[in-house]
Structure 1
Amino acid sequence: MTIPFGPQLVGQTEKTLGALLRRALADTGLSEPQWVALRLADQPDEDPLRARVADLARFDDADEIVTALEERGLVAGDAPTTAGRTMLKSVLARSAELSGPIWDDVEDADAAARALTLVLDRARTALRDSA
């Protein structure tokens, strides 16, 4: 069954990939929001990590999320520590085992990326405009 491109398809895809991510995070003690913040910490940017977590991930509790990572010694100074990089490597490897094959040989992946990027940009604009 093909689901038409739109909110239902994007939502079901996000929820299913999220379930796979939670399996990859099992036994790490990290929540999904903490994982997202750790990944953002590994992507240098001029904005502070808390601001990026709040803006890009849309987490209202960005301060608490980053503080939890700092307390676990996974993040310091808006960047992953050695322990944080080790955690990233481990979870990314497990995630690749679980979901890597999903991404292999996807036809029109560039077109899909362009479409989803456009949807993301429009959604961010809608959030800004409705504030």
Structure 2
Amino acid sequence: MTVTAHASAPVFGTQVIGQTEKALNAILDRQLAGTGITEPQWVTLTIVNGGTFTGDALIERISGVLKVDRAAARERIAELTAAGMVRTTPDGTVEATEQGKEQWSRLRAAITTITQELWGDLPEEDLATAGRVLNTVLTRANTLLSAV
């Protein structure tokens, strides 16, 4: 089934998903410019700020979200550790440092403002539908990736 929101708008599918992803990444890249944090490091720092993880659980989470192998996930942690953004506690928990928390909070505030501009005024029903559709596509994509 093909759905269009407007006669001149791209049809829902890989083209509009790809263009949206590229535009959102460009916006994120602008926010990260000058911080020394890359997009994969930002995602990793967000994961660390979102919960309490020990070594393997954190590596699995990063690997799954970034779609990278465990070695690449460990590299992101090592990079953030070297930059003073995260540290490993004696019990093996990886946590954000004060510097990491402050940097994350500043960036998150800017991103939240942009997010509000992008879809804050859209009807809840539309957002719920978009969320269901994108989560279905994501689940299917993850299934395909895990089968390879």
SS of equivalent to 1:79: strand
**Distance between the aligned counterparts of 1:39 and 1:53, measured in 2?**
10
Give the aligned partner of residue 10 of structure 1.
Answer: 17
- Does the C-alpha gap of structure 1 residues 71 and 48 become closer, same or farther in structure 2, counting only changes over 3 Å? farther
Q: Is the 8 A contact 1:33 1:65 kept in 2?
A: yes
Counterparts of 2:116 and 2:33 in 1: how far apart (Å)? Answer: 17
- Report deviation, 1:14: 0.7
C-alpha separation between the residues in 2 aligned to 1:100 and 1:57?
24
Equivalent of residue 101 in structure 1, options 117, 123, 141: 117
Alignment of 1:1-131 (within 5 A): 1-44=8-51, 48-60=57-69, 61-76=72-87, 77-107=93-123, 108-129=126-147, 131=148
The total of aligned residue pairs comes to 130
Q: CA RMSD in A?
A: 1.6
Is 24-33 or 47-56 further displaced after alignment?
47-56
Q: Distance in 2 between matches of 1:98 and 1:26?
A: 15
Q: 1:2, CA displacement in angstroms?
A: 1.2
Change (3 A) 1:88 1:99: same
Of all paired residues, the percent bearing the same amino acid is 35
Match of 1:9, as an amino acid? V
The aligned counterpart of 2:3 is: none
Deviation of the 1:96 alpha carbon: 3.1
- Measure how far apart 1:111 and its partner are: 0.4
Structure 2 residues not aligned, in runs of 5+: 1-7, 88-92
TM-score of the two chains, using structure 1 as the length reference? 0.89
